[in-house]
Chains A and B, each alone.
Chain A
Amino acid sequence: MKRHPIPPRRDWRERARALGFAYADIAGEPYWDETACWEFTAGQIDHLDDTLAELERLCRLAAEHAVRHDRHALLGIPDTVWPLVVRSWERQEPSLYGRMDLCWDGAGTPKLFEYNADTPTALFESSVVQWEWLQCAFPGADQFNSIHEALIAAWPRMGLPATVHFTCQRDSAEDRGNTDYLRDTAIQAGFNAPFLFIDQIGWNGRRFVDLPGDEIAALFKLYPWEFLLRDTFGTHIEQAPTRWIEPAWRLLLAGKGILALLWELFPGHPNLLPAYREPGKAGRQEIAKPLFGREGANITAPGHATDGPYGAEGTVYQAWHPLPQVDGRYPVIGGWIIAGRPCGMGIREDATPITRDTSRFVPHFFRSPT
């Protein structure tokens, strides 16, 4: 795993625009960054693939344990919401996608930082933009990336109706770009895929409806469950027949509480870090993460702290395992799981050990053995 500073393509902005990549810059700063790239060996990619599969297996076991033993308090899931989560798990409602954030330097053992199991972003750039970059920059090389094909293959296997609505919040090009990309994969898989903003969803007393008043039978929402359930319409979710993507059971994995449960169930597992709901138990320095924080907000780590709106819901204390530092950058590996299987990765770098929504996406490649 090596970082190579490289000259960016002179026309990369035009290419990004042509792909529909509307958030190559965020808030006036580069988000897509091809002034460097990461090279892996085929063996390292195999190792990451195996690690992601193993972690997915552990997470499913932990989810089953949580449901069977009512561990929602550890996970920070309120009593009132628990029956919805349990029912979703017992029905085995299919999951489409998730992103595991890993710490690794190419040697040793990758460690799970967290699982973005409900509303992961950075999907479009992982799947499409860095693949297009690969064809230009290293046409003879390969990339850990079958995300696009896996998504198109996954949709028909989810048992969904012919029309799947898609929604996200307004005012975020990143959220809209990720949602539209998933719409595109659903359309390619043969679905009708209308879009509406989250605040445009209607409730007719029995069902959620779209703007023309037609039933929303299935809904992909880039909007987290803990927000849905806090909103005014959250009280209607139990009675509505809508199929949700991601399903409600993903709350089991999307909060940081799963890190504590994983360590409790699989203590000493090489891909896990010690994690607890109480401070001072990890046996070394700790990073404190809000149970339902996002984008690196409200993190407290040795020498680092970030602000944000989260934290009142509780905290998970994870053993401090700093990201490797290369060329002054701290890379975190985002491993993609589609329909339960590993199928790609994207790397984001920050100038600090805390990965935030301003961290830059840096492409990768590997060379297949000849």
Chain B
Amino acid sequence: MRSPTAISLALLGGGVIAMAVDVRGHCRDPATGQLIACTTGSGSHFYIGHGAWTGSSGGFHALGGVMRGGFGAAGHAAGGSGS
């Protein structure tokens, strides 16, 4: 009953940079709409049922040293979080 859409990602740094990251880990420049490379994005590859539950060590770097977008992928893949 939940419709997955692209994950929005706001990155704050030495100015405000807003990006959107789609579920495959691509970054999109909101100004141009162009797909661009995430700084160190490892992409989303989470599947319900993995035994190890080990999160990827990658992430999405931002100016100012704050990474965002590192939570949400597993829930996105599952389609919902409530129970």
**A residues lining the B interface (CB < 8 Å):** 26-27, 78, 80-81, 116, 118-121, 168-172, 174-175, 178, 197-205, 209, 211-213, 222-224, 226-236, 254, 292, 294-295, 309-313, 357-358
Contacts and interface: CB of A to CB of B under 8 A. Distances in A.
B55 A234 contact: yes
B72 A199 contact: yes
Most buried by B among A203, A226, A254: A203
Interface of B: 1-5, 7-10, 12, 21, 42, 46-59, 62, 64-83
Contacts of A292: 48
Nearest to B52: A78
A235 B59 CA distance: 11
A116 B83 contact: yes
A295 B82 CA distance: 8
Contact of B7 (A172, A199, A358): A199
B83 A294 contact: yes
Given A232-B42, A233-B71, A309 B59 contact: no
Given A27-B1, A203-B59, A357-B1, A121 B82 contact: yes
Most chain A beta-carbon contacts within 10 A, residue among B1, B42, B47, B62 = B1
Contacts of B51: 78, 313
A199 B66 contact: no
Contacts of A295: 80, 82-83
Contacts, number: 173
A230 B45 CA distance: 10
A203 B53 contact: no
19 contacts: A81-B53, A168-B81, A170-B5, A172-B1, A199-B7, A200-B10, A203-B67, A209-B66, A212-B12, A230-B46, A231-B71, A232-B58, A292-B48, A294-B81, A309-B78, A310-B49, A313-B49, A313-B50, A313-B51
B71 A312 contact: no
Contact of B65 (A197, A205, A233): A205
A226 B53 contact: yes
A357 B57 CA distance: 33
B83 A198 contact: no
A312 B52 CA distance: 12
B81 A200 contact: no
A231 B73 contact: yes
A200 B9 contact: yes
Contact of A172 (B65, B72, B80, B83): B80
Contacts of B62: 202
Contact of B59 (A26, A170, A172, A233): A233
A196 to B, nearest CB: 9
Residue among B3, B42, B48, B83 having the largest count of chain A Cβ atoms under 10 Å: B83
Contacts of A204: 65-67
